[in-house]
Each structure stands twice: as C-alpha cells, then as structure tokens.
A and B are shown apart, each in its own frame.
Chain A
C-alpha cells in the first residue's frame, strides 16, 4: 500500500484527488503507531480498537479494500470492494481509478 500511495502522490493528476487511509480493525492506537513506525506507512492510519468501523462495513475479513467515491450533492458511493491483499500496486490503482471514474 505504501507503493500505491507513492504512485498516487507522484501523479499530478491524482495527487489531491485520490486519498488513501487505513483502518486497524481491533487495533489500539499504540498498535497502529507501532505499525506505522515499523513499516514507515506514509498515509493516515486509524485505530478501531472496539471494531466499531469494522462492524459498520459488515465485519469483513481482513485485509479488505473499499473504494469510496465522494459525490457532490449526493451520498458517498462504494465503487470497489475486495477481500484479500492485492500484491500488485499498479493493478489496485488501476481498479481504483477506473471504478471511481477519476481516469
């Protein structure tokens, strides 16, 4: 995901348009900070120690990827939802860009 973030930030057409956040399902703030420092994660990570966010998204197994499109004047729309890690940052990014209509 670090690589995906770097690709987004390096592309003037995407930077500022596509944001990446991570949610630590069941992880405390200490654990999230430890993970952030240990893996040098450059994008925002949030702790979800009581699984509140995890429950809202349907108690998915992890890792899980959700693409959300913010629409002017309408509710945010989920355009991408996938269980399991994408090992290819370029492939994940391509799906995000196509699904969201950014590119």
Chain B
C-alpha cells in the first residue's frame, strides 16, 4: 500500500494580506501598538436612525459624501484605528477578497481612519493590490466623523467598527468590535443580509 511520503502545508492568512511580496514589505513596516482596551467610546448613533451625513477627502482625490449614495447603494462604513498597524493592515486587504460579498448586497464600502491623506496614501500603496473601495481621511477636524458616530476613542483614534446603512440612509446595524482583533467576516455577512430586507 502506498503511503503519504510528503505533505506540503501552507500557512496562509486567507482573508488578509495583498500580493505576497508587497504584504511582506508592509508587515516589515508596521507598528505594533500592543494590547489595547477593546472598546473605549460610547456610541452616539443607534439602529433605525438616519445616519449622520458627512463629507471626507479620499486618497484618490475627490471628496466623498455619505448622502451621495442615498437611493443608489447600501453603504458600509468601516472605521479602523490607524494606518500601519497589524490588524488594520489585514482587515482592509481582506475586504478585497470579500468584494463579491458586498456587491452581492449592492453595498459600497467606505474605509475611514483618522490618519491624514499622505499617510493613508503610503499605507494603501504598500498593500500590493489596490483597494476597491474609497479610503477616507477623518483627519481634520480631527476625528470629527468618528466623534459624530460616537466611535472616537480617548487616545484620538477611532474604534474598529462597521456601520451598515441602507439606501434610505437609515442605520440598519452597528458592529463595534474589539480593537485588537480583525472582525469576523461572518458578522459582516449577517449584517449585509439585513440590508436586503425591506
């Protein structure tokens, strides 16, 4: 009887990271903030209310306003704490791989951090594959949008949070997750399903 002579194991962060060589370079330049208080803010919005409107500059140059998607697209706001940190640098490239999941629910993703545009530009450039969604800077007035939603932490960065907004501009779900961990895609998928229900 033949026996297995060799096994090639592959440790792959499946829903994280960009092109291997680029991801490797990026990981070499990340700052590890250590273990942080999981959640450090109090929400100012709730499910069922109209999402506060905002306009923020994007890395690609144009200003993006939340209300421009009203009647056209569901919107998912992805607040992440900081550029060049390990969990955030896994989370957003992971959404590149999960793009179809958002599109299946006719949703656009808006990535938001309190970093300035040059930092966001440098960070996203190093991810390897370009992100499919707009990356917005909530740098000035510092963290104003995060603060409006009650997602600004006491140290000036935002929570790791996902806000699901339907085509009428109503908040349908809010996930504020442990800042130290990448949110499970399943929670996001469940919240996206809710956007389809009238």
Q: How far is the CA of A30 from the CA of B184 in the complex (A)?
A: 8
User: Which residue of the partner chain, among A17, A26, A54, A64, contacts B2 with CB atoms under 8 Å?
Assistant: A17
Closest to B87 in A: A26
Which residue among B5, B21, B23 has the maximum number of chain A CB atoms within 10 Å of its CB? Answer: B5
- Our pick among A4, A26, A38, A70 for the contact of B7 (Cβ within 8 Å) is A70
Task: State how many residues of chain A have any CB contact under 8 Å with chain B.
Answer: 50
Interface of A: prevailing SS? mixed
- Cα A96 to Cα B97 in complex, Å, equals 28
Chain B interface, >50% SS class: mixed
Whether a CB of chain A sits under 8 angstroms from the CB of B11 is: yes
In the bound complex, how far is the Cα of B5 from the Cα of A63, in angstroms? 23
Shortest CB distance B150–A (Å): 27
Q: How far is the CA of A17 from the CA of B1 in the complex (A)?
A: 11
How far in angstroms is the closest Cβ of chain A from B11? Answer: 4
Alpha-carbon distance between A99 and B11 when the two chains are bound, in angstroms: 18
**Interchain CB contact under 8 A, B90 and A26:** yes
In the complex, what residues of B have CB within 8 A of residue A65's CB?
A: 8-11
Residues 69-86 of A contacting B (Cβ, < 8 Å): 69-70, 72, 76, 79-80, 83-85
* A6 close to chain B: CB less than 8 A: no
Within 8 A of B (CB), among A18-41: 18-28, 30-32, 34-35, 38
B-chain residues with CB within 8 Å of residue A76 when the two chains form the complex: 7
B21 touches A85 (CB 8 A): yes
B184 cross-chain contacts in A, Cβ below 8 A? 28, 30-31, 49
Chain A residues, CB < 8 A from B101: 34
User: What's the least CB distance linking A6 to chain B, in Å?
Assistant: 14
Query: Distance in Å from the Cβ of B179 to the closest Cβ of chain A?
Result: 15
Q: How far is the CA of A54 from the CA of B9 in the complex (A)?
A: 12
With a CB–CB cut-off of 8 A, which chain B residues contact A84?
Answer: 20-21, 24
- Of the candidates B5, B17, B24, B186, which one forms a contact with A100 in the assembled complex, judged by CB atoms under 8 Å apart? B5
A18-B5 contact in complex given A24-B13, A25-B11, A45-B14, C-beta closer than 8 Å: yes
> Is there contact, CB below 8 Å, between A24 and B6?
no
Knowing A26-B16, A85-B20, the reply to whether A18 touches B8 (Cβ < 8 A) is yes
Please list 24 pairs of residues, one from A and one from B, whose beta carbons are closer than 8 Å in the complex, sorted by A's number: A16-B2, A18-B4, A19-B6, A19-B7, A20-B7, A23-B11, A25-B11, A26-B90, A28-B186, A30-B184, A31-B186, A38-B97, A38-B98, A53-B11, A62-B11, A62-B23, A63-B11, A63-B17, A64-B10, A65-B11, A66-B9, A66-B11, A68-B9, A80-B8
A-side residues, CB < 8 A to B, are 1, 4, 16-28, 30-32, 34-35, 38, 45, 49, 53-54, 57, 60-70, 72, 76, 79-80, 83-85, 87, 96-97, 100-102
